[in-house]
Chains A and B, each alone.
Chain A
């Protein structure tokens, strides 16, 4: 998680767009995808093309993003299941609906993956804080991100310590080790979370991330963002 923000890359066209505008555009994009009528394949195609363009402009490795698609597996299963259930009734869920949901979900996820790559989670959260200053949800997201980084780091250390001592030969023992590691990881993460919490409190944190310097949003950027939103609305509304 932390790696994404450290990747050193040549500045791309996407880097010239204000992070806050990127977030705005992604939200508009996801909303448009969700609101498209079922089976409006031309428009789905147009939006997918737009997404691909953004990937190209940002020089985002597509493979990196595609690896994130399996996250959608639960959605696929759920949609598949409900499609199957409703297909047994009169008002069966058509193939169009089924496919539209799947395609839409995949495109939304790829749009979010793009955000995770550029501007990266930290900057994305900062952009969200610009729009929703002091909102509980944004603080929660920020905390979650912070703690996931901590837990992943903790898990890595534990795995390394385990590997350096070798694996028990028997599969059953290995499973037992894995089980107790998960429990231990949980306890350690909680303890760590508590200590990080203390350190934050000790410096006057009361639940709302301080905002820091707010760069003024350039009007050209804002205009571009709003134009994009309008375009998205048009794609949905115009038949």
Chain B
């Protein structure tokens, strides 16, 4: 059974902008999927639906076969982790350790377990020893890693990252790719970085104008220059 399914999802912002016009997709456990598309395609809007930040107006999202609704949000948010594009939005506590602990504490885990998980998550993203640092004073790359740790620590089944490579220097980007490759969960990565998509993912979705324009193996989709040109990706 897919861990994450989206069916005929439509969404119109209160301003009247129709951002999603019937999107359907499914992600299997452990699968690595890239979400490509030009600016304004609706990627971020789609992502906000995946753990119930936005609730479906039309269609539905299912996590582990359960329809995402108000009543099961806590469960859904434990299983689907979102990493937001701007780490300054994601990191809001006084220290890195507190920030990483925020999710597990909301899950009601006991403090020993929280400590263990925080240590493991910081280790996994390459920030051991950063516990007491202030999030606002980290470098962009470190902030990115810390943001990933804040979600990884919840041990989600799927991690959804919105533009994780934005603002990183080449080394930071390379490090991020290695980090993503090593993550244990399924991944959905919205990005404009085709090379990263190729390295990290096995499957690619192209979203344009709120509709899916392609869904296939990474090598096939990225080899189709005409398709990429048509959707402003090459």
* A121, chain B: closest CB distance, angstroms: 9
Which B residues are CB-close (under 8 A) to A205?
102, 106
Which one of B14-22, B89-97, B215-223 is at the interface? B89-97
Q: Are A213 and B92 in contact (CB under 8 A)?
A: no
| CB<8 Å pairs between A and B, sample of 28 | A122-B94, A146-B92, A195-B84, A195-B86, A196-B89, A196-B92, A198-B84, A198-B89, A199-B84, A199-B89, A199-B90, A199-B92, A200-B92, A200-B102, A201-B53, A201-B77, A202-B77, A202-B84, A203-B77, A203-B150, A203-B151, A204-B77, A205-B102, A206-B106, A212-B98, A212-B101, A212-B114, A213-B114
Query: Which A residues, 204 to 221, have Cβ-Cβ distances below 8 Å to chain B?
Result: 204-206, 210-213
Interface size on B, residues (CB 8 A): 30
For residue A5, CB closer than 8 A to chain B, the reply is: yes
Interface size on A, residues (CB 8 A): 22
Q: Mark A181-208, 1 if CB is under 8 A from B, else 0.
A: 0000000000010011011111111100
Q: Are A204 and B106 in contact (CB under 8 A)?
A: yes
Which B residues are CB-close (under 8 A) to A210?
101-102, 105-106
Which B residues are CB-close (under 8 A) to A204?
74, 77-78, 103, 106-107, 154
A contacts with B: majority SS:
helix
Query: B103's contact among A146, A203, A211, by CB below 8 Å, is which?
Result: A203
B contacts with A: majority SS:
helix
Top 6 closest pairs, chain A to chain B, by CB = A210-B105, A204-B106, A203-B103, A122-B94, A195-B89, A213-B111
Q: Mark B203-218, 1 if CB is under 8 A from A, else 0.
A: 0000000000000000
For residue A90, CB closer than 8 A to chain B, the reply is: no
Q: State A211–B136 Cα separation when bound (angstroms).
A: 22
For residue A2, CB closer than 8 A to chain B, the reply is: yes
* A213, chain B: closest CB distance, angstroms: 4
Q: Are B92 and A2 in contact (CB under 8 A)?
A: no
Which A residues are CB-close (under 8 A) to B191?
none
Q: State A200–B154 Cα separation when bound (angstroms).
A: 13
For residue A163, CB closer than 8 A to chain B, the reply is: no
Q: State A86–B81 Cα separation when bound (angstroms).
A: 62
Q: In the complex, which residue of chain A has the Cβ closest to the Cβ of B74?
A: A204
Q: State A113–B185 Cα separation when bound (angstroms).
A: 47
Query: Which B residues, 116 to 172, have Cβ-Cβ distances below 8 Å to chain A?
Result: 134, 136-137, 150-151, 154
Q: State A198–B47 Cα separation when bound (angstroms).
A: 12
